[in-house]
Chain A
Amino acid sequence: MRNRLVRRRLKDQSTDINITAFMNLMVILVPFLLITAVFSRITILQLNLPAAAGPDQAPQKPDFSLEITVRGNGIEVGDRDGGLIRRIPMTATGYDYEQLSLLLRQIKARFPDKQDATLLLEADISYDTLVQVMDRVRVAQVVVAGGVRSAELFPKIAIGDAPAGVKVASQ
């Protein structure tokens, strides 16, 4: 009887691991990692600048050069030589990025090899608008077989000033 009791106590002790040190480690590690954790991932949009002093590369005469002009009252998509393709007026909630994306996709379908586009902005357009328009010009979110896939449109974007154009009256 006494022998059995001793054996049981021994067995009890062997199952009980001392986890105090491990707990201490966890308690320190969890707040530390929580503080250093990055929950908002920062990514970049890269622009290639022409060298300030260097000579410009001889521009080949392209048959079509896409220009997207962002104005205070809407977005104009056009060809540099051919003129305006379409003007996308603002909606009640701001710029109509959906229409822009749709139009750019149609243009990409007509010119599949075209990689570059020029983005022209008026002076008081916000940085957020610039980035949103750049996003729509770079890639298109296409729904393929239930999933959203991004299709490349015109990833080489040049940024410039919008010409002081005629203020187009709302259509």
Chain B
Amino acid sequence: MDRKHRRSKAALGINLVSMMDIFTILVFFLLVNSSDGELLPSHKSVRLPESVSEQQPRQTVVIMISPDNVMLDGQVVTSVDRLLHRDGSTSPLLRAALVRTLNAARAGQHGATPVRMEATIMGDREIPYQLLKKVMATVTRAGYQRLSLAVLQKPQEGG
């Protein structure tokens, strides 16, 4: 009777020590890893090219160029087909959207320092230079002074 009781009690208490160890290590690892946060949104259809650049992204206006669409801050502005087959070096639709964003930022600004407008282009690795050039020209014409290309950081090889 006594022995049976003791056995059932042992079966009840699962040994959680190793699981606790793993969880504790995992939690700290993930906490440290996620501390820098994600500034740029990601999209499944956009596969960024890899680069050795180490510059950190900043909070900017994001223009995303997927193989099918051009998006500004997550909203589809125009399609790639339309942009490619259009004559002229800029896209009026994208330019209008960019100017709207710029004006909204200027209206919401406080203080004397002028807004230094920046844009980040997240382009799929397969898009042609022709398309990129049109988008970049549009960004410049819309009055943005700084432009960045978002890339995936290449894992460091060797030392």
Contact = CB atoms under 8 A, between A and B. Distances in A.
Contacts of B151: 42-45, 131
Interface stretch (B51-59, B68-76, B96-104, B105-113): B51-59
A44 B57 contact: yes
B129 A42 contact: no
A43 B51 contact: yes
A45 B23 CA distance: 37
What interface size band does chain A fall in?
35 or more
Contact of B145 (A22, A38, A49): A49
Contact of B51 (A29, A34, A125, A135): A135
A44 B150 contact: yes
Contacts of A76: none
B38 interface: yes
A52 B141 CA distance: 6
Interface string B29-64: 011011011111010000011111111111000000
Given A33-B31, A128-B49, A131-B51, A47 B153 contact: no
B153 A26 contact: no
Contact of B54 (A36, A43, A51, A52): A43
B114 interface: no
B147 interface: yes
Interface string A24-48: 0011011001101110111111111
B143 interface: yes
Interface string A114-158: 000000011111111011101100110100001110100000000
B120 A44 contact: yes
27 contacts: A26-B20, A26-B23, A26-B24, A29-B27, A33-B31, A38-B36, A40-B42, A42-B150, A42-B152, A43-B56, A45-B51, A45-B55, A47-B146, A47-B147, A49-B139, A49-B144, A49-B146, A52-B140, A123-B133, A125-B129, A126-B127, A128-B125, A128-B126, A130-B49, A138-B53, A148-B156, A148-B157
Interface of B: 16, 20, 23-24, 26-27, 30-31, 33-34, 36-40, 42, 48-58, 120, 123-130, 132-133, 136, 139-141, 143-153, 156-159
List 9 tightest A-B contacts by C-beta distance, closest first: A147-B159, A33-B30, A128-B125, A123-B130, A44-B148, A131-B49, A26-B23, A128-B49, A41-B153
Interface of A: 19, 22-23, 26-27, 29-30, 33-34, 36-38, 40-52, 121-128, 130-132, 134-135, 138-139, 141, 146-148, 150, 159, 161
